């Protein structure tokens, strides 16, 4: 009887302990859940910059320092209207817009459902408006950003079958629009004409517009002076020489603080002696002919005329150096700097010591060095700052901005030119914001690196693996014999 009572008492005690343990677990679970709810509520109230981290290879969900510079300088209120139907919001665009709102109290994002406001966009554009398009407004100024300017599709016709590349340019389009609507006046860039100049490549022209630079044409043959509102003079790919009068106008313009960007390489008509006199004034010689690179680590396409120059540190090149992008400089002339000038001169791009200039220029028949060719090394681009504050930036190639070569450099060529143009007009914070690839970028490597990789992958690695396999087999057989 006593044993039965003791057993019952023990069972009751165990039951009470189990109930107490269960109650404790339930309370603890409730407390943990409450804490999690509070943490989630607080986290949701925090800006996305503190709660979301971008680990994508192209930094698809981040904004650049250029955007931050533009946004942090805002003094006027900007409204970004997001034209989108309910539940049709693009996730990448949604994340980007939240970044802009978190960067400045002057930026507000408002959704406009076209089903509810069918005529809203008509006051800003005559185009057919797609879902996830934007309108950026500040006061009386506005800019419409179609979805096609946010998600870009480029076609490559270099192969038998066309291929397509896709990229996201939301940041570039929005920052450009904010910069545009908050400006009273846009910088004026005058492009010279009258010397057989080529049309600007599409990508370069689009970037000029995107950077809110107004492009106008100008002939120096019928003016007495360069317009006062000129922020910069652009001379692109002339086929014939300028006159002495035009040279005098440009020289005086630089000496009085003006800014000039020249993009000029070898031509069918030979040396542009008078134009090159602009560089001669600062102790820079332009060599006749075309540069051929003798170092395989400094050219691309297995073509010694497609140069991969070294980038030297400057405000124009630093962003490319930091991001490890390299321009491909095609059909270029060599520049030699003698240093006999009071101006500040920077060699932006330089060849290897094995480079030489072919005297035959565009008519060369061999890449081998011949009598009459000029030994390098050379500068391929220079930046000159006159004592007056005027500036001259010179790229010694007329073709490196061609869309095909720009694509092979993953956009580095156009970015280099835009950095130069932006620095000349004083818009360094508006330097080109790269679109972000949604597929892949070309890996630009030199011919020597390509050969080394082929040797390692095809020859060295298989031999190493074969050797390891043989070693394992031999070791196992030795163990078997030892065991016997």
CA 69 to chain centre: 17
For residue 34, what pLDDT is reported? 80
CA 332 to chain centre: 22
Question: pLDDT digits over 107-153, tens only?
Answer: 999 999 999 999 999 999 999 999 999 999 999 999 999 999 999 88
Phi, psi of 472 (to 5 degrees): -65, -45
Closest CA to 255 of 221, 223, 278: 278
**Which DSSP helix (H) or strand (E) runs through 379?**
strand 379-385
Question: pLDDT digits over 174-186, tens only?
Answer: 999 999 999 888 8
CA-CA distance, 365 to 12, in Å (whole number)?
Answer: 104
Closest CA to 208 of 71, 66, 401: 401
For residue 329, what pLDDT is reported? 95
Tokens of 481: 């014999």
For residues 215 and 239, is the Cβ–Cβ distance under 8 A?
no
Highest mean pLDDT, choosing among 19-28, 44-53, 63-72, 210-219:
210-219
For residue 57, what pLDDT is reported? 57
For residues 430 and 212, is the Cβ–Cβ distance under 8 A?
yes
Contacts with 367 (C-beta within 8 Å, 6 or more apart), sequence order: 292, 304, 305, 358
**For residue 317, is pLDDT > 90?**
yes
Question: pLDDT digits over 425-449, tens only?
Answer: 986 554 557 677 776 555 566 677 7
Share of the chain above pLDDT 70, in %: 86
Neighbours of 417 (CB within 10 A): 29
Share of the chain above pLDDT 90, in %: 58
For residue 382, what pLDDT is reported? 97
For residues 137 and 78, is the Cβ–Cβ distance under 8 A?
yes
For residue 166, what pLDDT is reported? 84
For residue 4, what pLDDT is reported? 46
CA-CA distance, 231 to 212, in Å (whole number)?
Answer: 12
**For residue 483, is pLDDT > 70?**
no
Question: DSSP secondary structure string, 151-196?
Answer: EEEEEE-SSSS-EEEEEE-HHHHHHHHHHHHT-SSPPEEEEE-SS-
CA-CA distance, 306 to 237, in Å (whole number)?
Answer: 17
For residue 58, what pLDDT is reported? 59
CA 56 to chain centre: 16
**For residue 89, is pLDDT > 80?**
yes
For residue 2, what pLDDT is reported? 47
**For residue 472, is pLDDT > 80?**
yes
pTM attached to this predicted model: 0.73
CA-CA distance, 443 to 126, in Å (whole number)?
Answer: 41
**For residue 59, is pLDDT > 70?**
no
Tokens of 70: 């533009």
For residue 307, what pLDDT is reported? 96
Selected residue with higher pLDDT from 376 and 459: 376
For residue 20, what pLDDT is reported? 61
Helix 412-425 and helix 202-210: axis angle, to 10°? 40
Cβ-based burial of 142 (10 A; exposed 0-12, middle 13-18, buried ≥19): middle
Arithmetic mean of pLDDT over the chain: 86
**Which DSSP helix (H) or strand (E) runs through 406?**
helix 403-408
**For residue 239, is pLDDT > 90?**
yes
Highest mean pLDDT, choosing among 334-348, 385-399, 468-482:
385-399
β pairing state of 78-83 and 107-112: parallel
For residues 434 and 290, is the Cβ–Cβ distance under 8 A?
no
Which value, to the nearest 10 degrees, does the dihedral of the CA atoms of residues 9, 12, 14, 17 take?
-130
Contacts with 427 (C-beta within 8 Å, 6 or more apart), sequence order: 187, 211, 212, 213
């Amino acid at each position: 009887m006593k044993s039965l009572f003791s057993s019952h008492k023990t069972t009751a005690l165990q039951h009470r302990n189990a109930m107490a343990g269960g109650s404790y677990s339930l309370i603890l679970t409730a407390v943990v859940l409450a804490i999690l709810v509070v943490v989630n509520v607080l986290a949701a109230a925090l800006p996305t910059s503190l709660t979301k981290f971008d680990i994508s290879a192209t930094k698809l969900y981040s904004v650049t320092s250029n955007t931050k510079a533009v946004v942090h300088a805002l003094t006027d209120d900007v409204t970004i209207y997001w034209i989108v139907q309910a539940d049709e919001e693009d996730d990448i665009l949604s994340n980007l817009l939240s970044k802009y709102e978190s960067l400045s109290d002057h930026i507000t994002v408002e959704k406009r459902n076209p089903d509810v406001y069918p005529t809203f966009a008509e006051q800003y554009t005559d185009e057919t408006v797609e879902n996830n398009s934007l309108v950026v407004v500040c006061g009386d100024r506005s800019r419409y950003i179609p979805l096609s300017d946010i998600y870009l599709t480029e076609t490559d016709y270099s192969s038998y079958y066309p291929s397509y590349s896709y990229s996201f340019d939301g940041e570039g389009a929005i920052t450009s629009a904010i910069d545009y609507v908050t400006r009273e006046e846009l910088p004026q860039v005058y492009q010279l004409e009258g010397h057989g100049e080529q049309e600007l490549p599409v990508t370069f022209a689009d970037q000029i517009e995107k950077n809110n630079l107004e492009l106008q044409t100008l002939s120096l043959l019928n003016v007495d002076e360069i317009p006062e509102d000129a922020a910069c003079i652009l001379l692109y790919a002339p086929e014939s020489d300028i006159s002495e009068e035009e040279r005098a106008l440009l020289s005086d313009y630089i000496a009085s603080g003006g800014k000039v960007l020249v993009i000029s390489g070898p031509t069918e008509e030979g040396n542009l002696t008078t134009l090159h006199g602009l560089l001669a004034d600062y102790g820079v010689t332009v060599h006749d002919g075309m540069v051929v690179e003798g170092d395989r680590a400094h050219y691309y396409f297995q073509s010694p005329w497609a140069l991969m120059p070294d980038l030297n540190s400057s405000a124009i090149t630093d962003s490319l150096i930091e991001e490890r992008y390299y321009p491909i400089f095609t059909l270029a002339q060599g520049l030699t700097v003698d240093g006999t000038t009071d101006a500040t001169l920077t060699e932006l791009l330089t060849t290897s010591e094995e480079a030489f200039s072919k005297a035959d220029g565009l008519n060369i028949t061999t890449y081998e060095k011949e009598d009459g060719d000029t030994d390098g090394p050379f500068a391929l681009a220079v930046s000159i700052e006159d004592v007056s504050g005027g500036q001259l930036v010179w790229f010694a190639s007329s073709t490196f901005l061609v869309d095909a070569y720009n694509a092979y450099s993953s956009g580095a060529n156009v970015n280099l030119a835009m950095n130069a143009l932006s620095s000349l007009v004083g818009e360094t914070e508006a330097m080109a914001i790269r679109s972000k690839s949604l597929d892949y970028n070309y890996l630009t490597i030199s011919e020597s690196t390509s050969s080394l990789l082929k040797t390692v992958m095809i020859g060295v690695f298989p031999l190493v693996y074969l050797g390891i396999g043989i070693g394992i087999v031999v070791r196992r057989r030795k163990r078997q014999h030892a065991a016997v």
